[in-house]
């Protein structure tokens, strides 16, 4: 049996070629073979590289590990579950722990969002929500409602449904022939000319929700199944919703019988200062997609929380018949469920949403202190998330952010880049000293790549 070793000596002869890395510049990575990007371990707010360097985790993994890494309460829960059952099928049978987890999630969700369908990722959660929306209208005798409305710059995972309603061009352009037909998009709300350097929710932009009325007039409401948005756009670089924007979307959807779907893969489970972004922004959708933070990224898990009226619509026909022909082999996987129970315990016992709200104040003051630094053209923040836009290098968009990312690694800080935007979402356990150090490291890196 081949043994793995994470020491520098062990990776000297590592073959980088077989692994096709996701969302990664593979040729660049394999040419440079960067040991400071090979993680050997993770604990608390830090990764440790194979070279032994500690990196402060400035994005909680990929928005996943908001409680930090290796919390013993989660680790022990997963270990205990392995001794009990490694796998339980999700079709026709289940476990008490899975039913209990659905109950606990439903209790924290707003309104009548109280029916939980488990998936394994946010991408699967989005596609599940789209399928539920289509089937819901069909069951109600409105089979003409087949159109989905997404939003420019949105990220809804990488399934064909998700990239169809998503609005990030790079995720869509190679797959256009296979995307869902009849999808339209709302305009995005990122307008630096009006909102640059806003703290929290920008005061400009609520009127952009009224574009939904134009789209409804264009296609007719009877053809539209659902509108899907991220309460806060995360993957494109932390774009908070304008004040009143989400409420207006809710009003228009309700007026025309269109379902509203919130993609809360990033905003769910504390980061927005509430259990869900829906509560933070005081707007309740009809379907809510979650993942990542539900079990602190420990074992892949996602899901959809549906309004009870939607669930009830499916509960018809013979009692022995399957109401929704949809699901995944690993839906409600026992290890993911165990990790989620422990995570929900911590969220409640440690008052994690409130602590994210407090952390957000430190993060806001910190990132906005970078205004005026070379090539910084915008800064945004929304509770436990923030982003910094940089001027692109002439003819080489994205390269300045890559260089900043690499420079920050050398200083001991792991941040996220997308295009020429640097995104931050540190874990809730971060101390004021660590947040200050993160900001000062970014300041130094911004100047270094000027």
For each successive 10 residues of the chain (450 residues), what is the average pLDDT?
50 90 95 94 98 97 98 98 98 97 98 98 98 98 98 97 96 94 97 97 98 98 98 96 98 98 98 98 98 98 98 96 97 98 98 98 98 98 98 96 97 97 98 98 98
Could you tell me the two tokens for 382?
């929304």
Same domain, 170 and 108: yes
Residue 279, C-beta contacts closer than 8 angstroms, at least 6 positions apart: 110
- How high is the pLDDT of residue 4? 46
Same domain, 268 and 405: no
Same domain, 173 and 293: yes
- Convert 155-194 to b/e letters by CB count within 10 Å (16 or more is b): bbbbbebbbbbbbbeebeeeeeeeebeebbbbebbbeeee
DSSP strand E in 190-319: where?
224-229, 259-263, 287-290, 302-307
What 3-state DSSP class applies to 81?
helix
- Convert 197-233 to b/e letters by CB count within 10 Å (16 or more is b): bbeebbeebbebbebbeebbeeeebeebbbbbbbbbb
Is 25 inside any structural domain? yes
What 3-state DSSP class applies to 370?
coil
Helix (H) or strand (E) holding 417: strand 416-418
- Count of alpha carbons within 13 Å of 212, Cβ hemisphere only? 31
Same domain, 148 and 278: yes
- How high is the pLDDT of residue 223? 98
Same domain, 225 and 337: yes
Containing structural domain, residue 162:
75-349
pLDDT in tens, 335-365: 999 999 999 999 999 999 999 999 999 999 9
Backbone angles phi, psi at 378, to 5 degrees: -165, 150
Same domain, 342 and 428: no
Could you tell me the two tokens for 420?
């020429």
Same domain, 179 and 239: yes
DSSP string, 195-214: HTT--SS-SS-GGGGGHHHH
Q: Are 288 and 305 in contact (CB under 8 A)?
A: yes
Q: Are 236 and 418 in contact (CB under 8 A)?
A: yes
Helix (H) or strand (E) holding 290: strand 287-290
Domains of the chain: total = 2
Is 3 inside any structural domain? no
DSSP-based helix, strand, coil % in the chain, nearest 5: 40, 15, 40
Q: Tell me the C-alpha distance between 231 and 264, whole Å.
A: 7
CATH code at position 246: 3.40.640.10
Q: Which of 311, 327, 349 is the last residue of a domain?
A: 349
Could you tell me the two tokens for 317?
């026909």
Is 397 inside any structural domain? yes
Same domain, 43 and 135: no
Same domain, 390 and 307: no
Residue labelled with tokens 């990312």: 405
| DSSP state for residue 57 in the 8-state scheme | E
Q: Are 212 and 252 in contact (CB under 8 A)?
A: yes
Residue labelled with tokens 């009006």: 194
Q: Which of 322, 349, 376 is the last residue of a domain?
A: 349
Is 69 inside any structural domain? no
Q: Of 116, 117, 130, which Cα lies nearest the Cα of 159?
A: 130
Same domain, 329 and 384: no
Is 392 inside any structural domain? yes
| DSSP state for residue 321 in the 8-state scheme | S
Q: Of 228, 194, 195, which Cα lies nearest the Cα of 212?
A: 228
CATH code at position 362: 3.90.1150.10
Helix (H) or strand (E) holding 49: strand 46-49
Residue labelled with tokens 């009877």: 222
Could you tell me the two tokens for 327?
């699901």
CA 134, 135, 139, 143 dihedral sign is: positive
**To 5 degrees, how large is the angle CA 217–CA 221–CA 223?**
115
Is 2 inside any structural domain? no
Q: Tell me the C-alpha distance between 294 and 171, whole Å.
A: 25
Residue 443, C-beta contacts closer than 8 angstroms, at least 6 positions apart: 369, 370, 373
Q: Tell me the C-alpha distance between 387 and 237, whole Å.
A: 6
Is 416 inside any structural domain? yes
- How high is the pLDDT of residue 281? 98
Q: Which of 326, 349, 372 is the last residue of a domain?
A: 349
Is 1 inside any structural domain? no
Same domain, 30 and 150: no
């Amino acid at each position: 049996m081949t043994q793995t070793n994470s020491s520098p000596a062990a990776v000297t002869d590592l073959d980088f070629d077989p692994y096709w890395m996701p969302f990664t510049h593979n040729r660049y990575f394999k040419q440079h073979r960067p040991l400071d990007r090979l993680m050997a371990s993770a604990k608390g707010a830090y990764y440790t590289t194979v070279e032994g360097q500690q990196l402060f985790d400035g994005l909680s993994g990929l928005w996943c590990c908001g409680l930090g890494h290796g919390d013993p309460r989660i680790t022990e829960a997963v270990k205990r579950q392995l001794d009990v059952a490694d796998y339980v099928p999700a079709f026709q049978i289940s476990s008490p722990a899975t039913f209990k987890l659905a109950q606990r999630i439903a209790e924290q969700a707003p309104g009548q969002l109280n029916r939980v369908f488990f998936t394994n990722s946010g991408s699967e959660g989005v596609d599940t929500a789209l399928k539920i929306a289509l089937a819901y209208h069909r069951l109600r005798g409105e089979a003409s409602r087949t159109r989905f409305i997404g939003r420019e710059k949105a990220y809804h995972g990488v399934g064909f449904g998700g990239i169809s309603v998503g609005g990030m061009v790079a995720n869509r352009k190679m797959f256009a022939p296979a995307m869902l037909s009849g999808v339209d998009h709302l305009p995005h709300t990122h307008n630096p000319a009006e909102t640059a350097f806003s703290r929290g929710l920008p005061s400009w932009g609520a009127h952009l929700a009224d574009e939904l009325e134009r789209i409804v007039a264009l296609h007719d409401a009877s053809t539209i199944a659902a509108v899907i948005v991220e309460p806060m756009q995360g993957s494109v670089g932390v774009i908070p919703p304008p004040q009143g924007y989400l409420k207006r979307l809710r009003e228009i959807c309700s007026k025309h019988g269109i379902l509203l779907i919130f993609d809360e893969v990033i905003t769910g489970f504390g980061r927005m200062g509430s259990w869900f972004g829906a509560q933070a922004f005081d707007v309740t959708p009809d379907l809510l997609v979650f993942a990542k933070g539900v079990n602190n990224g420990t074992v892949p898990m996602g899901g959809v929380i549906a309004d009870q009226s939607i669930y009830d619509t499916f509960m018809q026909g013979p009692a022995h018949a399957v109401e929704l022909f949809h699901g995944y082999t690993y839906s409600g996987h026992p290890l993911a469920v165990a990790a989620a129970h422990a995570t929900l315990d911590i969220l409640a016992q440690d008052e994690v949403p409130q602590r994210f709200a407090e952390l957000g104040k430190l993060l806001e003051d910190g990132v906005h202190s970078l205004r005026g630094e070379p090539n910084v053209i915008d800064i945004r923040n929304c509770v436990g998330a923030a982003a910094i836009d940089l001027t692109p290098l002439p003819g080489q968009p994205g390269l300045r952010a890559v260089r900043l990312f690499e420079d920050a690694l050398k200083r001991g800080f792991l941040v996220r880049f997308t295009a020429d935007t640097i995104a931050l979402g540190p874990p809730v356990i971060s101390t004021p000293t660590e947040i200050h150090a993160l900001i000062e490291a970014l300041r130094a890196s911004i100047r270094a790549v000027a």
